[in-house]
Structure 1
Amino acid sequence: MRLVPFVLAALLVLVQAELWLGKGGVPHVMALQSELAAQQAANDVLRARNERTQAEVADLKEGLEMVEEKARRELGMVRPDETLVVVSGTRR
């Protein structure tokens, strides 16, 4: 009967060792948390880069529209498939 407590204690130590040192143990979890933090930081950098690129694309699209509008108004430029009609002064 004195053997039972020692066997139970040994099993408890074995389970605890697996918990602390095994595949799902504390060191493995810490390594995964470190990997996760690094990946999140990389994602944040890439997300910021994507936002800058989207803003640049929007500026270029808007910029081209502004340039086209200015060329039409100030220089009288037209596209090849358009006809320019100039209306001068109004009669009263």
Structure 2
Amino acid sequence: MRLLFLVLLLLALIIQYPLWWGKGGWGRVHELQKQVATQHDTNDALLARNNALAAEVQDLKTGTQAVEERARGELGMVKDGEIFVQILAPHEKGPSVSTPALASPEQKKGN
């Protein structure tokens, strides 16, 4: 009887080994679950980015406000009749564009 018990215990241990430490054991299952969770997080972030880009594309296709905003911000464009005023901080250097001086009223009378 004691021998039968030891044989059955040994067989149970042999059967349990692959379950805990084998190729498809609990350790591997836990590792794969972590990988799946990480991939879900990555997918959610990419989905949010795709939705934002799709909304921007739709806005660019249908609305003029987004195009106008980009033209103003990135290209520095202004509408007809608008005056563009740029205020620089004291430590910033202004643009290096030279503009001709306007003639004063006295100079106009002399010509």
One-letter code of the match for 2:31? Answer: A
Equivalent in the alignment of 2:22: 22
One-letter code of the match for 1:49? Answer: R
User: Shift of the alpha carbon at 1:2?
Assistant: 3.7
User: Shift of the alpha carbon at 1:38?
Assistant: 0.7
Query: Identity of counterpart residues, as a percentage?
Result: 49
User: Shift of the alpha carbon at 1:24?
Assistant: 1.9
Deviations 1:19-77 (A, max 9, x none): 1111221110110000001100110011001101110011001125xx8xxxxxxxxxx
**How many corresponding residue pairs?**
65
User: Shift of the alpha carbon at 1:3?
Assistant: 2.4
Q: Indicate the SS of the match to 1:3.
A: helix
Structure 2: distance between partners of 1:2 and 1:45: 60
After TM superposition, the structure 1 = structure 2 runs for residues 1-92 of structure 1, keeping only pairs within 5 Å, are 2-64=2-64
- The farther-off stretch of 55-64 and 34-43 is 55-64
Q: What 5-or-longer segments of structure 2 have no aligned partner?
A: 68-111
CA RMSD of aligned residues (A): 1.6
Give the TM-score, by structure 2 length. 0.53
User: Shift of the alpha carbon at 1:4?
Assistant: 2.1
Q: What 5-or-longer segments of structure 1 have no aligned partner?
A: 68-92
One-letter code of the match for 2:22? Answer: G
Higher relative contact order (CA 8 A, sep 6+): 1
